[in-house]
Amino acid sequence: MKNSALLIIDMQLGNFTGSDPIFKGEELLDSVRKILQIFRSFGVPIIYIQNMGTKGDPDEPGTQGWQIHPAISPLDNEITIQKTSPDSFNKTDLRKKLNSLNILHLYIVGLQTEYCIDTTVRQAYSYDYEVTLIEDAHSTWDSHGLKATQIIDYHNSVLGSWFAEKKKFNEIEL
């Protein structure tokens, strides 16, 4: 786990509440909570990525929905980086933070599979990070005629065939 970090992307309260919560949100929270316990116990840096939605979005800055879900809240020594696009590196200091911590390997979990997870995994790969996508710790909504499970499975297949190693959360060895 030396030189590794855990990226938790867009796990904000507004994505888990309301009339259209994220697919299998409670299961996702449970998985991420367990992953956090493991990574924290080994002293692995934890970096939260927090989306800055626009006015009226469930993750509009300053609203309750914008907050990181309380079930997985950051500790005082953990980093939170705010972003305005699906790419966690775009116009943020993520890469600078990772470099300052000498991070070479990223474990990635969170939301939304086909946008922020996909884009961040590909960008991390392009920046020469070793990437592990925790395949059962990211989610999305049904969209474009596809069920959330289809979107998740497809992205696990594509990302895991070139851009990242895929692992289930119970297969992680630190």
Q: H or E segment at 83?
A: strand 79-83
Band (pLDDT 50/70/90 cuts) for residue 173 is confident
Domains of the chain: 4-171 (3.40.50.850)
In Å, what is the CA distance from 79 to each residue of 48, 106, 140? Answer: 6, 14, 24
Q: What percent of the chain has pLDDT over 70?
A: 99
Average pLDDT, the chain: 96
Q: Which residue has the tokens 């895929």?
A: 166
pLDDT of residue 1 exceeding 90, the answer is no
Q: Is 105 exposed, middle or buried (0-12, 13-18, 19+ CB in 10 A)?
A: middle
Check residue 113 and give its pLDDT. 98
Supply the pTM of this predicted model. Answer: 0.97
Check residue 2 and give its pLDDT. 83
- The total number of residues shown for the chain amounts to 174
Check residue 129 and give its pLDDT. 98
Check residue 19 and give its pLDDT. 87
Which amino acid belongs to residue 36?
L
Q: What is the mean pLDDT of residues 125-152?
A: 97
Check residue 174 and give its pLDDT. 74
Q: pLDDT tens digit string along 148-171? A: 999 999 999 999 999 999 999 999
Residue 74's nearest CA partner among 105, 111, 45 is 45
